[in-house]
Structure formats: C-alpha cells, structure tokens
C-alpha cells in the first residue's frame, strides 16, 4: 500500500440542479463537529478555501488515521493533488475529497476486492458509468476504501489485509461491505464516500458508524457493475454525515434517460410535510428479538415518529423468514461459486484457503451441494417475496425496524475465518433485517438516532416501496431536524 502523496449526458440535468444547491444552515441543534460535503463545496465556491488546501487536509487526516482505523486499501494522493492544482473542476461537489469502494474499478488504480486472489492486480483502464458520475460531480478521489472479500460479509476484516476498525471503538467492526467508506467518513477523512448495498452494505456500516445511509431502489441509479445473479441485488450510493449530502449526490447520479423505471426526483431539499402510517417491526424473520440497546433505539424512534404526528402501529413480516434466509443465502452464495470457479481457472488449480477465505469457499461448497433446479426454485420464491413486500407496503407508507440485531459487534465475531456453520447462524441473527429490500428492489435508509451507554451508534431503518426515495429523504430531513446527530464526534477522528 502506498501512502505518499470521465461524460454522461443522462446525469447532466441532475448535476446542474445539484450545483444550484448552496450550503444552507443545518438543522437546529449543536454545531456539526466537521463540515459536510455541501459546506466544503460552498466554501470552495465562495473562495474561502482553495481546493488544494481541502485536499491536502484530507490527505493529512488519511495519513494520520490510517494506522488506527485502516479505511484505505490504496491511496491516490499524487493524482489527487494534481487534480486539485489543475483548476478545471466543476459540479456540485467540485474539489471535495472522496473515496471509491474497492469493489468498483477506478481508472488508474487496482481493484483488490478485499481478496488475496487479487493481490497482483494492475491499474484499471476503465471505470463504470456510475463511478463516472463522481468525476462529473467534481469530486477528488484520494484513494479506494476497504471492503471484505468480494463484499460477502457485513464486516470489513479481509484476511489478506488488516481489519478496518470502528472510529467509535477500535475493538468493534465498522460494518460491511462498505466498512472502509463508513470508517473514513465517520473519522472525518472525507465528508462522504462511495458505498454499495447488495444485502445491507450501505445501511449496516452507516448504522455501525453513526452515519446516514440510503440504499436506492433497483434500477434507480445510473448503471454500475454488471451482476450475474438471478435477481439484481446490488445498488450504489454513498454514506454521509448529512442528509443533504446524500440527497445532492443522489440527484447527480440517478437515471434520467427515457426508459428509466422511475421518474427522476432530482435533489430533495425540504422536510416531510404529510403524516405517515408507519409499520413497526421489531423481531427478525426468525421471530427473534434484537439486543436490548436495539430495542431501545427502535422504541425511541417510534416515540419520535409519533411526536412528529405520524401514526405508528406494530406489524409483522409478510414472508416465511426461515425459507427466505435459506433462499437468500443460496442466491448470495452463487457469487462465491463464480469467484471460486474464476480464480481456479486463472490459477490452473482448484482455489483453496491460500487465496480465498473459508467463508467464500464454504459458500461455493454450499452451491455445489444443491440439486439441479434448486437455485432457480430459490429465485422463484424470492421473486414471490418481492410481491409480498409490495403488498405489505400498500398498508404502510414506511416500515420502521432495526438495521442490525445488535450494536456493532467486536472484530472477529462475524469474520470470514469463523467456522462456516457458526458464522451462518450468527449472520442470521445479526443481519436479518436488511436483505428483504434488496430482493424487493425497494429503498431503505439507516438513520443514526441512538447511541448506547458505552458510546456505540445504533442505526434505525426506514424502508419504503420501490421508487419512494423522495419520501424517505423528506422523512430523513425531518428526523435530522428533530433529533440532530451531526455534533457527535467519534473518539478516533480529526
């Protein structure tokens, strides 16, 4: 690891709209401990600070904090400084430092995928259309953020690299698979960062690190990495300190071309005015209650929603939880089977634990043990789950639930070297709330509304029907004003 020092017409209208959003005062409450991306961009436009100064400061923080939290897998400091000095930046976030998650290619940098199997990777010569939107927004990429092996786990502890640590408590996980993005943002290295979510990977690290994280609807954003599963689970966006940063970047990267599945919403700037019917969900699909601190977080959020005039009532999962868990695991494991097959072919021998993690190998073995037609049957049942979710959301405007079954776990608890069956059981308890929205293609967000007595963040999930991002952003603004979080500073931060 080195630590020294492109065009999409579809996004043009959204970026122009986002560019007009000037930095406005935050919600009432204690002052933010660090400026968000909107504020930094505003200071640059007003010439209160130069891009060079801003990028130099981000690099200084990265160099100082990297040995403690390990949020970057590759730095790009020299090119970032060249870009800062070039003076040709434009867009809503011109000059703001940024990180790309190391599951997506970025021109000029290697993509490691959190895996020892990619240690010798050379620099990429192209990048996805979605990553292009970050360049168009004027962001200055200072490096790539850490991720677990191929994004498979909800913690960022790849065996080929050092673990990424949570800035709120260095013994705990920052989450995954966007754990490096969340740790770097929470610690103040960058004001927000690229993230992606195939089963909770935006919402989980946001919850663990006290950040705001919204997972968009399937098909909402400009196209990113191709997928090979029977259902397209993964979508990309950012993790951020503020709602307005997430909303502005959403406006700059949503699809606006003809044929898009949803009408573009642009940049949402105002809080919710209407009252919502809220379904309150506490137990997992397996019927298990979460940790007491998570219960406290959800009950507190329910009271907050009621105080804001929303009607909250208990609800229950519209699905067969155990069957859903088995089907999602089978579908998720097909990615590992493809990985093992690809690495084996490239090596000329069967991939083993010298190049891939035990959990990746275990998922591939699970797929190999299935009978012909089992995956297709699982996909069929998951698609039926999607319809059940849609029907459920005709009764409610939004579902309020935990993001995770507990506050951030300690490092090692759900890492890839835990025995396969033990790890599967732990994952069912820990991450039972987030994959449903990926299967349904629906948006959901983690909002940082609770901290434990020991100072660990606990995110609260709000999920809607497909295409309801405008309502979720408006609700997020309302919650941010009612119960601000921007003043909270992690112990490990600058």
Q: List the catalytic residues.
A: 101, 177, 201
In DSSP terms, which residues pair with 196 in a beta bridge?
Answer: 236
52 close to 261: Cβ distance less than 8 angstroms? no
Contacts with 313 (C-beta within 8 Å, 6 or more apart), sequence order: 277, 278, 279, 280
Both structure tokens of 295: 């219960």
Q: Would strands 140-145 and 97-101 be described as parallel, antiparallel, or unpaired? A: parallel
- Other residues' Cβ atoms within 10 Å of the Cβ of residue 87: 10
Radius of gyration over every alpha carbon of the chain, rounded to an integer in angstroms: 21
d(CA 167, CA 404): 18
Both structure tokens of 465: 């029907």
Name the residue with tokens 């000059």: 95
Rounded to a whole number, what is the largest CA-CA distance in the chain?
A: 64
Residue 169 phi/psi, 5-degree rounding, is -165, 115
Q: How many residues does the chain have?
A: 494
301 close to 398: Cβ distance less than 8 angstroms? no
Both structure tokens of 78: 């020299």
d(CA 27, CA 484): 7
434 close to 199: Cβ distance less than 8 angstroms? yes
| Residue 144 C-beta-side C-alpha neighbours within 13 Å | 23
Contacts with 410 (C-beta within 8 Å, 6 or more apart), sequence order: 171, 172, 173
CA torsion sign for 367, 404, 242, 265 is positive
Element (H, E) at 74: strand 72-75
d(CA 43, CA 37): 10
């Amino acid at each position: 690891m080195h630590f020294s020092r492109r065009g999409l017409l579809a996004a043009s209208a959204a970026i122009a709209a986002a560019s007009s959003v000037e930095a406005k005062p935050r919600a009432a409450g204690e002052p933010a401990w660090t400026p968000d991306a909107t504020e930094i961009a505003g200071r640059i436009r007003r010439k209160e600070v130069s891009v060079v100064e801003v990028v130099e400061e981000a690099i200084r923080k990265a160099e100082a904090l990297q040995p403690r939290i390990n949020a970057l897998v590759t730095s790009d400091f020299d090119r970032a400084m060249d870009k800062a000095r070039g003076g040709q930046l434009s867009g809503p976030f011109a000059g703001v430092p940024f990180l790309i998650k190391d599951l997506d290619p970025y021109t000029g940098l290697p993509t490691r995928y959190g895996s020892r199997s990619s240690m010798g990777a050379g620099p990429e010569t192209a990048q996805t259309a979605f990553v292009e939107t970050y360049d168009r927004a004027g962001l200055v990429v200072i490096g790539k953020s850490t991720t677990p092996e191929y994004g498979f786990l909800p913690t960022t502890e790849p065996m080929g690299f050092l673990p990424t640590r949570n800035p709120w408590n260095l013994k705990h996980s920052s989450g995954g698979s966007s754990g490096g993005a969340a740790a770097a943002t929470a610690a103040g290295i960058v004001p927000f960062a690229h993230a992606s979510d195939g089963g909770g990977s935006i919402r989980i690290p946001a919850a663990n690190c006290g950040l705001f994280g919204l997972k968009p609807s399937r098909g909402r954003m400009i196209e990113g990495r191709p997928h090979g599963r029977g259902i397209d689970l993964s979508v990309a966006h950012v993790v951020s300190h503020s709602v307005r940063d997430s909303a502005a970047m959403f406006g700059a990267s949503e699809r606006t071309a003809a044929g898009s599945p949803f009408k573009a919403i642009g940049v949402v700037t105002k809080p919710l005015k209407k009252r919502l019917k809220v379904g309150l969900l506490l137990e997992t699909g397996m019927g298990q209650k979460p940790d007491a601190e998570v219960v406290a977080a959800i009950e507190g959020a329910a009271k907050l929603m009621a105080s804001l005039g929303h009607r909250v009532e208990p609800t229950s999962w519209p699905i067969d939880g155990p069957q859903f868990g088995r089907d999602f695991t089978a579908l998720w494991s097909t990615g590992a089977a493809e990985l093992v097959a690809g690495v084996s072919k490239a090596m000329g021998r069967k991939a083993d634990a010298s190049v891939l993690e035990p959990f990746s190998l275990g998922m591939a073995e699970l797929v190999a043990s299935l009978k012909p037609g089992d995956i297709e049957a699982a996909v069929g049942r998951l698609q039926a789950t999607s319809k059940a979710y849609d029907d459920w959301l005709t009764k409610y405007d939004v579902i309020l639930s935990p993001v995770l079954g507990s506050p951030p776990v300690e490092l090692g608890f759900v890492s890839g070297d835990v025995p396969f069956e033990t790890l599967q059981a732990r994952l069912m308890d820990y991450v039972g709330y987030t994959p449903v929205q990926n299967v349904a293609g629906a948006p959901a967000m983690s909002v940082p509304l609770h901290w434990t007595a020991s100072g660990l963040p606990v995110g609260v999930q709000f999920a809607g029907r497909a295409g309801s991002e405008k309502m979720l952003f408006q609700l997020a603004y309302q919650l941010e004003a009612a119960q601000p979080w921007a003043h909270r500073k992690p112990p490990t931060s600058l």
